[in-house]
């Protein structure tokens, strides 16, 4: 009889100890979910290219909303996750400017979509930790940064090709018959020749100096 009582007491004490430990663990984790964390910065579209995307409202809305995640607590991040998901879905389904309607750019949109879905899924996990939320917030911001980075690179290439076309129009070359590598090579060659000419005008060679004296 005594052994049975001791056994029951042991089970009760062990059970209470586990519940107390779980309660302490929960209390320790809850404040962490309320502590703001500094996250990675969003790479923006460069100011010189903003005019090219000024009518793309879906992109502007995601860009504005995701800035809220720059310094945010896990709880705040989770409370905004579903709205961010919906904005990214709108961006994915939006009519893009023609220059961005290509597979490489769409791949970056798809990656962003996947990351924001993972962040939204965390809102349905009761035992989620602050570390898991903060990690996914950083991944989501990084994914959006790659979208802006691709926008910058596409528009930089466009501007470069437009500048080359202007130079070739000036000297009478049909730039449509040349690939991008040839364009770049010719432009660099012309820049090098222009640089040499400027240097000769500033510091003429001894032979040219003598010729100039004779002319005078």
CATH number of the CATH domain containing 39 = 1.20.120
The sign of the torsion formed by the CA atoms of 54, 55, 60, 62 equals: negative
What range defines the domain where residue 133 resides? 35-161
Residue 105 lies in a domain: yes
Dump pLDDT digits (tens) for 77-131.
Answer: 999 999 999 999 999 999 999 999 999 999 999 999 999 999 999 999 999 999 9
Alpha carbon distance 150, 167 (integer Å) = 26
**Sequential DSSP letters for the chain:** -HHHHHHHHHHHHHHHHHHHHHHHHHHHHHHHHTS-EE-PPPPPPPGGGGGGGTT-HHHHHHHHHHGGGSEE-HHHHHHHHHHHHHHHHHHHHS---GGG-SHHHHHHHHHHHHHHHHHHHGGG-TT--HHHHHHHHHHHHHHHHHHHHHHHHHHHHHHHHHHHHHHHHHHT--GGGS-HHHHHHHHHHHHHHHHHHHHHHHS--HHHHHHHHHH-
The yes-or-no verdict on residue 162 having pLDDT over 70 is: yes
Residue 172 lies in a domain: no
- Tally the domains of the chain: 1
Tell me what percent of the residues of the chain surpass a pLDDT of 70.
62
Residue 97 lies in a domain: yes
- Structural tokens at position 65: 């909303």
Residue 2 lies in a domain: no
Q: pLDDT-derived band of residue 164, with 50, 70 and 90 as boundaries?
A: confident
Residue 66 lies in a domain: yes
Residue 14 lies in a domain: no
Dump pLDDT digits (tens) for 1-57.
Answer: 555 554 555 545 555 555 545 544 444 556 899 999 999 999 999 999 999 999 999
Residue 170 lies in a domain: no
Residue 176 lies in a domain: no
């Amino acid at each position: 009889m005594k052994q049975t009582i001791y056994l029951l007491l042991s089970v009760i004490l062990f059970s209470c100890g586990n519940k107390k430990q779980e309660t302490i663990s929960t209390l320790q984790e809850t404040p962490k979910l309320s502590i703001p964390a500094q996250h990675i910065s969003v790479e923006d579209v460069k100011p010189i290219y903003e005019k090219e995307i000024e009518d793309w409202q879906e992109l502007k809305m995601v860009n504005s909303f995701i800035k809220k995640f720059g310094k945010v607590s896990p709880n705040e991040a989770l409370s905004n996750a579903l709205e961010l998901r919906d904005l990214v879905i709108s961006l994915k389904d939006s009519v893009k400017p023609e220059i961005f309607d290509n597979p490489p750019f769409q791949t970056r949109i798809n990656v962003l979509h996947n990351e924001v879905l993972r962040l939204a899924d965390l809102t349905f996990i009761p035992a989620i930790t602050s570390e898991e939320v903060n990690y996914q917030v950083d991944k989501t911001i990084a994914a959006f940064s790659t979208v802006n980075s691709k926008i910058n690179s596409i528009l930089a290439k466009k501007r470069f090709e437009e500048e080359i076309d202007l130079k070739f129009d000036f000297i009478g070359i049909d730039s449509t018959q040349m690939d991008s590598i040839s364009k770049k090579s010719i432009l660099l060659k012309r820049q090098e020749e222009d640089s040499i000419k400027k240097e000769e005008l500033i510091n003429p060679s001894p032979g040219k100096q003598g010729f100039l004296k004779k002319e005078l």
